[in-house]
Amino acid sequence: MVGSGGREHALCWAIAKSPRCDALYCAPGNAGIDQVANCVNIDAMDLDGIVRFAKQNSIDFVIVGPEAPLVAGLVDRLEAAGIKAFGPSAEAARLEGSKGMTKDLCARHDIPTADYARFDEPDAAKEYIRIQGAPIVVKADGLAAGKGVILCRNENEAYAAIDYIMTETAFGEAGDEIVIEEFMTGEEVSFFALVDDKCAKPLVTAQDHKAAFDGDVGPNTGGMGAYSPAPIIDDALTQAIMDRIITPTICAMSEEGMPYNGVLYAGLMITDDGPKLVEYNVRFGDPECQPMMARLKSDALEILLACAEGWLDEIELEWHKDAALTVVLAAEGYPGAYMTGSEIRGLEAATEEGVLVFHAGTKESDGKIIANGGRVLGVTARAKTIKAAQKLAYKGVDAIDWPQGFCRRDIGWRAIKY
Ligand code: AMP
Ligand code: GLY
């Protein structure tokens, strides 16, 4: 496993249960992952180091969690070295790595998404704003750790966004090019499918809460919690998303010589005209992966292997009927500046309440668990309903003694209201 977040802990936890798994290593991992895998101190972006380690240790199969090493070509590098890997090639990972390339692909293949234009210099971009008006959305083309999207209520905000990304280079090279998009309204949903050469299989639905504070207000984060299933996505909507968005995208990628393999995560807006693509990610969602893994009944390793080897059509994905919900505990200050280094106590007490505590940003020091990131823990519960899972997850949260952390108290409210 490559990565060090809650997503990778949930995947390692699921994989470690597989009878196919003789040994599991994680680069670089964290204190929680270390309880189910052997952590090796190699950065997820040290592609040479990862390939070398995999060769030296006769690793059969590598699963790449985060987008950055995928976009940088880790899967291509591993496969060139004769090592099987889960995740898209660098070229296919551009679905997340270049918003402009994805928009052009959608345009060529009639995949519904917001109207847009691409720019590589600010003056023409501002001229476009003058013509289009606001609200409007300005996006850095490349990877910006989830921060490269600016929703602009008026034209002045849009001009400022263009300057921020292109002139002040707030996101570095990721902002050399920008995409300007029509502002879509509707309910946002996430959709996940496993994709190999022959087929695409939707996974159970899951939804995160991106805003930092209760009531879905405050700054955008990587996700303060998530739940599965997401009741807004019924069977009819699943079919519409597969038919209009996922399947045409996969066909388009194959036709254009960059076949997709791995998990495809679509961010969608359910508009009055039906589902439209907001963006693609080329990995599992984090924290969405945590409730999804809590619900998975099938052998996780077998599924990922089937996807990488191209026999996904031969397997049946089985899930627990129960719901699952994850509450993220983050360091005070996140998503802005935050402190690391505080001690977290009470993790055993939380586990005794019957929850899974996935670690997102922790390390071990002298036998103590120390906060080492913005999002630090994902307290995950499975129960008959989302409401029951929510109650259990917060029981786990309340057993944890970490004064320097905070969490939202309303994760799952949209699904419970539904
Ligand atoms: P992204 O990183 O592309 O998912 O964008 C971050 C967030 O910005 C999304 O989750 C949406 O809430 C919002 N967003 C992105 N593009 C649009 C759009 N064209 N219209 C409305 N909201 C958008
Ligand atoms: N939770 C949002 C993401 O994984 O991108």
pLDDT at 196: 94
* DSSP 8-class letter at 374: S
The amino acid sitting at 361 is G
Residue 210 CA: nearest ligand 1 atom is 10
Q: Which protein residues touch ligand 2 with a CB less than 6 Å away?
A: 146, 208, 222-223, 281, 285-286, 288
* DSSP 8-class letter at 319: B
Residue 114 CA: nearest ligand 1 atom is 19
Query: For residues 260 and 92, is the Cβ–Cβ distance under 8 A?
Result: yes
How many angstroms does the Cα of residue 281 sit away from the middle of ligand 1? 13
Query: For residues 211 and 224, is the Cβ–Cβ distance under 8 A?
Result: yes
Q: Tell which one of 183, 210, 279, 288 to mutate to probe ligand 1, the residue whose CB is within 8 A of the most ligand atoms.
A: 279
Tokens of 52: 């070398």
How many angstroms does the Cα of residue 34 sit away from the middle of ligand 1? 35
Helices marked H in 39-121? 47-56, 67-71, 74-80, 94-97, 99-108
Tokens of 286: 């984090």
Spans in the chain with pLDDT lower than 50: none
Tokens of 172: 């570095």
Find residue 296's DSSP bridge partners: 319
How many angstroms does the Cα of residue 172 sit away from the middle of ligand 2? 21
pLDDT at 359: 98
The reply to whether 323-417 shares the fold of 121-176 is no
Q: Measured from the CB, is residue 278 less than 6 Å from ligand 1?
A: yes
How many angstroms does the Cα of residue 145 sit away from the middle of ligand 1? 14
Find all residues with CB under 8 Å of 304, minimum gap 6, and list them: 15, 61, 63, 86
C-alpha distance from residue 381 to each of 108, 257, 276, 314, 394 (Å): 43, 42, 31, 30, 9
**Fold assignment, 121-176:** Dna Ligase; domain 1 (3.30.1490)
CA 33 to chain centre: 18
How many angstroms does the Cα of residue 193 sit away from the middle of ligand 2? 15
Q: b/e map of 393-404 (b: 16 or more CB within 10 Å)?
A: bbebbebbebeb
Which ligand is in closest contact with the Cα of 289?
A: 2
Angle between helices 6-16 and 300-309 (to 10 degrees): 100
C-alpha distance from residue 287 to each of 40, 60, 94, 328, 360 (Å): 23, 27, 22, 8, 9
Which ligand is in closest contact with the Cα of 285?
A: 2
Q: What percent of the chain is predicted at pLDDT more than 70?
A: 100
Q: Measured from the CB, is residue 144 less than 6 Å from ligand 1?
A: no
Query: For residues 112 and 274, is the Cβ–Cβ distance under 8 A?
Result: yes
Cα distance between residue 211 and residue 228, in whole Å: 18
Cα distance between residue 31 and residue 346, in whole Å: 15
Phi, psi for 50 (deg, rounded to 5): -70, -45
How many angstroms does the Cα of residue 278 sit away from the middle of ligand 1? 6
Residue 285 CA: nearest ligand 2 atom is 4
**Strands, E, within 274-391: which ranges?**
274-281, 323-331, 343-344, 356-359, 362-365, 368-371, 375-383
Q: How far apart are the first and last CA of the chain?
A: 36
Domain boundaries 2-89, corresponding CATH code: 3.40.50.20
In this structure, the residue with its CA closest to atom 14 of ligand 1 is 278
Q: Measured from the CB, is residue 213 less than 6 Å from ligand 1?
A: no
Q: Measured from the CB, is residue 181 less than 6 Å from ligand 1?
A: yes
CATH second-level architecture of 323-417? Alpha-Beta Complex (3.90)
pLDDT at 149: 87
Q: Measured from the CB, is residue 83 less than 6 Å from ligand 1?
A: no
In this structure, the residue with its CA closest to atom 5 of ligand 1 is 149
Ordered by start, the domain boundaries in the chain are 2-89, 121-176, 187-314, 323-417
Find all residues with CB under 8 Å of 280, minimum gap 6, and list them: 95, 96, 102, 249, 264, 265, 266, 267
Domain boundaries 187-314, corresponding CATH code: 3.30.470.20
pLDDT at 87: 98
